[in-house]
Amino acid sequence: MTPPLDPPDVVGSSTAFARLGAPALAAIIDDFTERVCTDTMIGFFFRSVDRDRLKQLEFQFAARALGATDVPYEGRPLRAAHAPHPIRGGQFARRTRILADTLRDHEVPADIQMQWLAHVEKLRGQITGEADSTCDPPAPVGPVRVSVDADGNESVPGDSL
Ligand code: HEM
């Protein structure tokens, strides 16, 4: 007889991976990857990426992050995998938003959601050099003062820089 995935007597001390169970994690990753790959803001990154392979590697990576010790991660190190893709801070934030929405929709326990999202934030430096939603160049703040000289020429501060 197959033992239950999450026997009640080990719930208190088991890892987040064991509490979720592999089939539920696979369903979450499947949904999340589909949402990411078809997203209007960041989907373009994945146009030529093998989606089934990505799902498999995202599953392995998440499983380990959530405490699995018997699931090997067979992908590249994150820094190497993402280096060819110039990812902005806002695009990193977008993926995190999609992950948070997916975890909520799958009714993942709140403590596991927090653990997962905190882990993602710790990895930011391996994915992008930017802090959250950095704009480059910085947008002007407030009204722009236009000066007109005696000959009627208009200028704004910074024109001569
Ligand atoms: C902490 C956040 C992230 C994690 C944990 C993560 C995880 C992964 C993993 C496990 C892979 C497979 C590695 C491999 O191909 O060997 C991968 C690939 C990829 N990720 Fe991420 N990722 C993150 C953030 C992002 C973001 C923010 C973007 C873009 C908005 C992104 C875009 C991609 C792309 C395009 C690939 C395919 C790389 C290629 O085949 O060239 N990832 N990611």
Average pLDDT, integer, range 74-94: 97
DSSP structure string for 1-57: -PPPSS-GGGGGGS-HHHHH-HHHHHHHHHHHHHHHHT-TTTGGGGTTS-HHHHHHH
Between 101 and 154, name the one with better pLDDT: 101
- Per-residue pLDDT, averaged over 61-69, amounts to 97
Residue whose CA is at the smallest distance from ligand 1 atom 18: 81
Q: What is residue 129's predicted lDDT score, i.e. its pLDDT?
A: 86
Structural domain contains residue 158:
no
Q: How many domains does the chain have?
A: 1
Query: Which parts of 38-142 fold into alpha helices (H)?
Result: 51-65, 78-82, 89-105, 110-122, 124-127
- Tell me the pLDDT band of 11, cut-offs 50, 70 and 90: very low
Query: Of all residues in the chain, what percent carry a pLDDT higher than 90?
Result: 71
Could you report the per-residue pLDDT of 99-134, keeping only the tens digit for each? Answer: 999 999 999 999 999 999 999 999 999 999 888 765
CATH number for position 102: 1.10.490.10
Cα of 81 from ligand 1 centre, angstroms: 6
- CA of 42 relative to ligand 1 center, distance in Å: 11
Q: Which atom of ligand 1 is nearest to the CA of 85?
A: 35
Which atom in ligand 1 lies closest to the alpha carbon of residue 92?
Answer: 27
For a pocket test of ligand 1, which of 33, 38, 82, 94 has the largest count of ligand atoms closer than 8 A to its C-beta? 82
Quickly state the pLDDT bin for 153 (edges 50, 70, 90): confident
Q: Which domain holds residue 51?
A: 14-129
Atom of ligand 1 nearest to the CA of 120: 1
- Which residue is closest in CA terms to ligand 1's atom 27? 92
